[in-house]
Structure 1
Amino acid sequence: MRLNRHILSYGVAVLSTAIACLLALWLEGLLSPLVSPLFYIAVAISTWYGGIRPGLVSVVLSALMIQAAFLPPVNQLILTGPEDLIRLSIFLLVALTINLLIGNLRHSRQKIEQLNQQLLQTNTEQLRMVLSAVQMGLWDWDIVTGKIQWSPEHEQLFGIPTGCFDGEYATVEACIHPEDRSGVNQSIQQAILTRSHYQHEFRVVWVDGSIHWIEGRGRAFYNEAGEPIRMSGTVISISDRKQTEALLNQQFDRQRTVMEIGQHIRQSLNLEEILNTTVEDVRQLLQTDRVIIFQFAPNGSGTVVVESVGDRWLSILSTQIYDPCFKDEYVELFRQGLVTAKSDVRTAGIAPCHLELLLNFQVVANLVVPILQGEELWGLLIAHHCSSVREWQPSEIELLQQLATQVGIAIQQAALVEQLQTELRERRATEAALRESEQKFRQLAEQIQEVFFLYTVDFGDVLYINPAYETIWQRSCASLYQNPFSFIDSVHADDRERISTAMQGFINGDRPFQEEYRILRPNGSIRWVYTRTFFVYNDRQEAYRVAGLATDITARKQAEIALQQLNAQLELRVAERTAELTEAERRWRYLLERVQLVVVGLDCEGRVDYVNTFFLKLTGYQQAEVLGKCWFELCIPSTHRQLMQRTFTEILTDNRHSYYQNSILTKAKEERFIAWNNTLLCDSVGKIVGTISIGEDITERQKIEQMKNEFIGIVSHELRTPLTAIRASLGLLRTGIYDNRPDKFKRMIEIAAIDSDRLVRLVNDILDLERLESGRVVMDKTTCKAADLIQQAVSGVEAIAREQHIGLMVQPTQLEVWAAADAIIQTLMNLLSNAIKFSPPHTMVRVSVQPQVDRVLFQVQDRGRGIPADRLETIFGRFQQVDASDSRQKGGTGLGLAICRSIVEQHEGRIWAESCPGEGSTFFFTLPLPPGECR
């Protein structure tokens, strides 16, 4: 019987594996990923039914079937590469794990059944001892009365104090976990109805609130009428088994996660996706609160690049961290492979500054594993437990180390991919340039009537032969590619030895190959050919190619002179055409590179294809910083970007906006205003491939236009104001309302006269300023005494000062200056007039002179109301005054200081003001010393 059982077990293993293979073959076209799961099911069935050994037989048979039926080459037990070996190894690892787990469970089940049989055979005392040892209880339920009797062990397993059970079914049901009650009742009822054994696993809740797993077994007994009257059975604690199963499942899940992440790394090139998947899987697997990957910067700081965090906890994604305590103490250790596991960071002896950082992130326990990229420390894989203290298990630490290794591989893989992509882009660019060069070369070579050929330096291979070969030799180019020396076979027999000798001499480097010889065509006709062959040298002056031209000179032999003339004309035309093309290209490039205009070429995606030298000079960019970049993101202000992208689209689709203006950003983020002329670029078939735009920098013109508009607005306002006052006064007089009021009549006349004088002063000041700035006023500079200039200016304003009760104080001086006397006197009078106008009565205006190294410093100081700090520079502009009411109350035009600045600057001097509001102002200007004088 036992032998039959063993044979049946192995038969089930073979049969289940064969069925899995047949199903896999049947579903291969539809569901190829199910191949392994079907064999896993076969292994599980074989192990559960027969044990570990039949399961091993199923594993081996499954591996052989997978190799023979599903891995190429099919029907052969041969591994063709490392990928097949890895796939087969993964299958064996998982299948053996399933075999071991199910075998252990089956063995445990068999042990329990054997134990039950032994318990039934022992006496009551032995049964109690065994029940106590194995945590098993007995129970008996009278279905008719509803009363239950059970052993003391049963009470212990349900967490009820000994002797406190009242025998009621409701009491038993109250101890069962609420989620399991319906399942227990259904299992009991089903066992009674089907007259089968009752067996069910459920949880019980003890009085202290703890939860324990119980397996209940039982059997119903029936009366003669077939009605159930009682049920007896056992309960056994399976909490340890459940914990073991949970640990095994957890370990299996962790290993599966490591394999899945490893497989994902091998299949994906997206580093960001890999990192995000890693932290999310680790957090779910460890059941922790936060998992991050921290990347180091060269200076020891770093950034949290990815994060998975629970809803209750602070997110620190993209946080930049610089912790000097951490850098000094841990970075080098992590580079050597240090792993830190802190169950409670508050008691782990961590440096205070680092501990403060962790507490700010709500960290209570943490597990830190280094991520190495080769021999270099790339970053850290960190698990944070924030809710409570946590003891990290060795399996968890090992898991994180394995994942860190996988992440390091992914980082190296991503770096390698990026390097390969860069090399691929460079290679493609080189290949494109070569293709373009080759295309130009072929176009030229295929247009000429001579045979052009290109050999390797040893004449072993023909690299190129143009179609003229077929015309002259009347043999196919393919024949020459197959046999590089086949052209010698067509040489006339009388010339063959001479040509072979000359060719060998050329190969040996003795002399160049320039020979005339006859060739014999397949139709028997003879043609004369002149061949010139030469070496092509690389940058190191090494010969690496042999090129040459072969010309049909039959006509020349028949008529030498006519052929020479024709050949000369042909060569001249080729040279002229080549020279014209070269000159046209040179002029075009010369124009683009030297024209003082911005030239920008864009492709249809808005990327920069070309910029000229003036653009680079204007914007401050290097050519490599611009080519290939998005024009709108690089050079267009963000406020105008969307509008300009829409305009660019309309240019490409409708050829609109051939002329427009917009601002661009330089590398220093300075805005320059450009007026563009746009032209569409098309390829040889008329397809639009981009645009070429030529623009003029009109930034200064825009500023000048703005200044002109402002100047016109100010001047019109300043002219309109006095004219309005004059017109109003004269209008009132014309009405006659003041004919009988002489005082009012006189006042109107005075107002008109005052505003007329103001208008005259304004016009004179504008004319003076315009003449000064246009250079039409010639400064006739001579050596002048500073005291004389000051005295003449003071004499001019003395009457005004006396009228305003202002004193004038002049500091004596013997200094001399190099200046135009009238212009400097006008400057001093303007400054003194301003000082008098804005000084309160009975105060003093001081004029002084101080020597400097190569200058003389003039100072005009008053005790007026002062000038605000933000106006000290603007008051020297046109029509600028500290207070807008000064024009009406003081009678100024706002041009006096602008005239002063223009005069001083034409003397190569400088003018400025200093002031303390409420205490007065001091105006300074400098003039040069006479030639030859210097202090």
Structure 2
Amino acid sequence: MNTISKTDLPLILVVDDDSAMRLLLVQVLKQEGYQVVEASNGEQALDAFTRLKPDIVLLDAVMPVMDGFTCCSKLRNLTDDDGTPVLMITSLEEQESVDQAFEVGATDYITKPIHWAVLRQRVRRLTQARRATKDLRQQAEREQLMGTVAQRIRSSLNLEEVLNTTVAEVRQFLQVDRVLIYQFVPEQSGVVVVESVEKPWPSTLGQTVAGLCFPQNCIQLHRQNQVQATKNICAERFDSGYPDFLAKFQVKANLVVPILQEEEPWGLLIVHHCATNRQWQPLEVNLLQQLATQVAIAIRQSQLYQKVQQLNTGLEQQVQHRTLQLQKALEFEATLKRVTDKVRDSLDENQILQTAVRELALALNVDCCDTGLYNLIEATSTISCQYTNSLSSSQGLVTRMADYPEIYSQLLQGQFVQFCKTFYSPTHKQVTALACPIFDNQGTLGDLWLFKPKDCTFDEQETRLIQQVANQCAIAIRQARLYETAQIQVRELKKLNQLKNDFLSTVSHELRTPVTIIKTALQMLEITIDREYKSFSGMAKPTVECGPAARYFEILSNECEREIKLINDLLRLQELNAGTRSLEHAVIDLQDWLPRVVEPFFRRAQSQNQRLQLNLSPNLSPLLSDSFGLERILTELLNNACKYTPPEETIIVAACTEGGVTKLSVSNSGVQLSQQELSCIFDQFYRIPCEEPGKHGGTGLGLALVQKLVASLGGSIDAESTTECTCFRIELPLIALTTRSNGTAAL
């Protein structure tokens, strides 16, 4: 056997029509230790390139018939060109020739006369780069092959499939004529178990090879994991009939790698080259050794799998039994989930219980399932829901607990009961019955009854499912009853709220008449006093100069006005809540209308040493709305602003149109509200706390009324308060909508 070469001399193809120059190039390159082949023209170069696959091509640019540029272009177009470096040799130094060389695929160029040191350096650099590229590609291909085999081993327990994949991939990768796996059998012989062979070479698959055909020391070498690499079978001398065996299958070179199992040879991974002799490379040997290791893993994996299969044979019945149990558990779990979902999704007690008995009956395949609800005061149980296949219906049947004390005493204590029961019918059918209580921490609410044929019993899994369903039923019943209690309370609260509204409406109407009479009487009293008692005209004077009677009269008049406003606000709120207030829509030109509404408040603000500003946007569009309601909204907001804004502070009324919406705002500085106050500001009868409770007066209905009015106009209002500034913002559609009492919208 030959020693495998550790290095390959790079092969350089020199192409030049000048024989003298070609001779010089060949000598220089051989002195550097390269293998060199020559070509005198482009056609010879293409032929040599195709046959020999050189590592580098030195190509003269200027040659007759086919110049170097054309030859380089054709080299690059060859299907088997894998990026072989081409060093163009030219006497042309202009930039155009250099560009052309690179355009046709030259890797580098050198000009004549040749600077030999430069040539050596560039050839050395290209050779190293070429070798590195080939090594990387081969490494990638090796890794891909190893990955393919390893993946096949991981994904398949079919040893034959794994071995067939291995030999096919190896033959393709190494480009050899035959790859086979030989397995040792007792009595020092073996058989070819898998093979991949290229036509027309003969197949060795299934061939039995006696141990005597191998060299005498081969088994020892195999145990030592040594590789046998033969580049020329005919040139080797063997002490057995091994060459004759190889000649039978036309083998000229072979590579043999042992496959070890627990340090003993299981078989051989063998590569044959039949067409020519072959020098086996270290990388090829290393690859085959790695693959032999992977094959050994696959064999071991297959052996372990076979042992597992043998063990599984004895456990098959247990596995099947366990599988049935698991399947049954999954079905029971699905049943419980359906019942649980119904408990969560429904508040109808009867519907939930009907679902429970149906799901249990179908899941357990029983003859009948029903549920009874207890009346603990009367000590009775009434069957409320039932699902039956073969037994007669007993829905609505009432059972006295005293008639079956042994059963109901256990059920009331939260214990299930299983026994045999006879139905007193014309057939006197006997069944196995199981009763399970529906109970929670507050007591027993009812029970679940299930019936099977008399020879059947309820096992532990079935009993557990029934108890879990009973627990869900207990939750459902409590939940449904709590909901019903809550609904009753809601209905009662609605009645009370309606009574409150009716009371307020009635009281407001009843109070309006006497308060109106009082107001009229006050007006007449003022006229009479002014006419008959001239000396009492001091009521027109400032408060500090008025007499006690004038001050009392003023208090009476103010309180009367406040009561009238309170009554009117209550009545308007009632109308808005009931949806009975009719709106009179008209086109409002806000540019003219707003100044008229705000005008009275300029004088009031000035008298209170406040600043009032009106900011109207130029794009302010006309608004179709109820002018009375809109005026009341702005008036109420301005009244509040004037009431609560400190002296020297500013009140701003602004209006603009954006995106089909009219935006109004009333803001005042010097006032800041907390988030808690903002959350209650639109509540009825809510008044903002202040240091002087009676200073500002008011009914606490103004902003609640504003919110209702804005909603009736199809708009929205919100309040915001920052440092020393509070702002109310209103948005109204250009075509105002009102909400009817039935929840629909209309103009």
Question: Normalising to structure 1: TM-score of the pair?
Answer: 0.27
